[in-house]
Structures are given as structure tokens and as C-alpha cells.
Structure 1
Amino acid sequence: MPLIHVYSPAGTFSDAARDALGEELTVIVRELERLPMAPYNRSTTWIYFHEVPPGHVYHGGRPGGTEVIAVEVNFFEGGLDEDGKRALYQRYTERVGEHAGLPQGARVPVYIVLREVAPIDWGVFGRTTRIEELRVPRPGEPPI
């Protein structure tokens, strides 16, 4: 049940690139968290893309500079071990770079922050849940 925010300068991703990136980020995090791909379970991964207008990103206290892309991934405690986190950094950086149209081998200006959330700190449909519950597919349950 990852909740992901992608912040990028306006125009970084075309509509098609954003759609493809959203699908790929979903698959990567679900694979690394060992979460099922059943329709209901997939629908619990939410991604918000935020385009930031020119002049609204500050570097060193001033507007402008490098066009950094920020990705925040919120996930349940125990969802990713250290190897999973390292794999996520690498795979997300590659996917963001490709869909932002950067040349292969170029340094990708992406900062990734992972937030591991304790079950008590994440309310879902009026209650809490745990990663172990999410790893069990819900057969026949319609997507959210």
C-alpha cells in the first residue's frame, strides 16, 4: 500500500511518459515489498505527480538551478529491507531518468526519500493495517 509523491519541474514528463512511469514505479515497489499484483492489491498503490512551476524550486535559498526531481515513497514498516531500499533507489532513478528524456549514462537529478510508517501511524478506511495483511491477496475484491 505504498503512497508515492513525485515532484518535478513543469514539463519534465509528457503525459505518456508520466503514465508509463506511474505503472513502472507501481510494479517496482510492489515487487520489492513482495506485495501481490491482484487488481484490488494493485489499486492500493497511489502515486501523485506534482508539477512545480518555474521559479518555485529553490536551491541554496534562491530560485532556479538544477532541475531536481524528488520522489517520496511512504510504505508500511517492514515493507522493505536494506537490499530492497537500495534496489528501489537504483531502479527508480533509472526509470525517472528514462522517462524524463535524459541520455543513458547521464547523471539523473533525482532525490528519493523513503518513509517507513508504523501501522498505528497510517489509517486506512478508518482503521489500521499491517504489511503482513497486505501480502495476502483478496480474491475477487474489486479495485479501490
Structure 2
Amino acid sequence: MPMIDVYAPDDLFPADADARLGGELTHAVLRAEGVTAPGPFHLDNTAAFIHRLPATAVSTASTPSARSVRVQIITPPGSLNREGQKQIVREATEIVAKIAGDETLKARTWVVLTEAAEGGWGLSGTAFGVEEFTALRDRAAAARTTA
């Protein structure tokens, strides 16, 4: 159950691109985690937050209004192995550039991977760790087989 945050100048992506950006990034993260056939459990519990910022809120030392993007992906402990990390950074960068319609954006897209600490992920009033995530996954799998 990853969480995705995208921070970008408010006019960088088309006005109607938020759902597409969130959806494509969600599927990319799940692929990188090894989820080959995401079902409702994965899709309903992966949130993407698109933060459109005033152009002056994104800057570098040389550009007061930088045309850069930051994608932060927070995953449960142990969800991404090294190959998964490489895969999601590559795919997220490609998705951002494609949706923005600007291939040069690949050089200005930062992807930050953050792994939640064991027990440092809260949902429904519960601090989740490996044990709780495993129980959730097992319940979801059992529900699929009885449905």
C-alpha cells in the first residue's frame, strides 16, 4: 500500500492530468513491488496526492521559478528490492515527462523513495508493520478465493 506525492508547478501538467498521473504512477509502483495483477486491495489502498504549486514555490539556486518535479513514493518496510527501486525511478520519470509532454523534464524530475519504519505506517487507527500488512494481504487473498 504505497503512497505517492507529486509536487510540480501548477501549470506543468495539463489541467485534466491529475487522475491519469496518479493512476499511471500507482500501477508503476505496484509493478516495482512485484504486484503483477493488482486487485481492489492494492488499487483501493494506494493513494496519489498531486500537489500543484505556484510556479514561484519551486526554485533552484539559479532559477526562481524552476520547471522541476518531485515525486515521493512511500512504501511499507521491505516492499521494494534494489531492482524495484531502479524500476520505479525510471518509470516515474518517464510517466512525468510523458504526461507533461516534455521529454526534457526527465532531467528535472526527482524521485524520492522513502520506506516507512516498521510500525510507522498508520491506517484506520492502527500502526502497521510487517505483521499487520501480512494479515491484511492474507485477508484480501482469502476474500478473493471465496468470492
Q: TM-score, normalised by structure 1?
A: 0.83
Report the Cα offset of residue 16 of structure 1.
Answer: 3.6
Q: In structure 1, what is the equivalent of residue 55 of structure 2?
A: 54
In the alignment, the residues of structure 2 paired with residue 86 and residue 76 of structure 1 have an alpha-carbon distance, to the nearest angstrom, of 17
Structure 1, unpaired ranges of 5+: none
Identity across matched positions, percent: 28
Aligned residue pairs: how many? 137
Amino acid at match of 2:14: S
Q: 1:84 to 1:10 in 2, by over 3 A?
A: same
Range with greater deviation from structure 2 (81-90 or 8-17): 8-17
Q: 1:107 to 1:51 in 2, by over 3 A?
A: closer
Counterpart check, 1:44 vs 2:45 = yes
Show CA shifts across 1:40-98 (max 9, x none). Answer: 3311100100011021222118622x310000001011000111000111111111100
- Measured on the aligned residues, the alpha-carbon RMSD in Å equals 2.1
Aligned pairs for 1:1-144 within 5 A:
1-35=1-35, 37-60=38-61, 63-64=64-65, 66-103=66-103, 106=104, 108=106, 109-129=108-128, 130=130, 131-133=133-135, 135-136=137-138, 138=140, 139=143
Check the 8 A contact 2:6/2:51 in 1, yes or no: yes
User: Which structure ranks higher in relative contact order (CA pairs < 8 Å, sequence separation ≥ 6)?
Assistant: 1
In the alignment, the residues of structure 1 paired with residue 110 and residue 118 of structure 2 have an alpha-carbon distance, to the nearest angstrom, of 25
Check the 8 A contact 1:70/1:111 in 2, yes or no: yes
Q: 1:44 to 1:57 in 2, by over 3 A?
A: same
In the alignment, the residues of structure 2 paired with residue 77 and residue 6 of structure 1 have an alpha-carbon distance, to the nearest angstrom, of 21
In the alignment, the residues of structure 1 paired with residue 139 and residue 43 of structure 2 have an alpha-carbon distance, to the nearest angstrom, of 10
What secondary structure does 1:123 align onto?
strand
Q: 1:61 to 1:102 in 2, by over 3 A?
A: closer
Amino acid at match of 1:72: Q
Check the 8 A contact 1:13/1:100 in 2, yes or no: yes
Report the Cα offset of residue 132 of structure 1.
Answer: 3.6
Report the Cα offset of residue 127 of structure 1.
Answer: 1.4
Higher helix share: 2
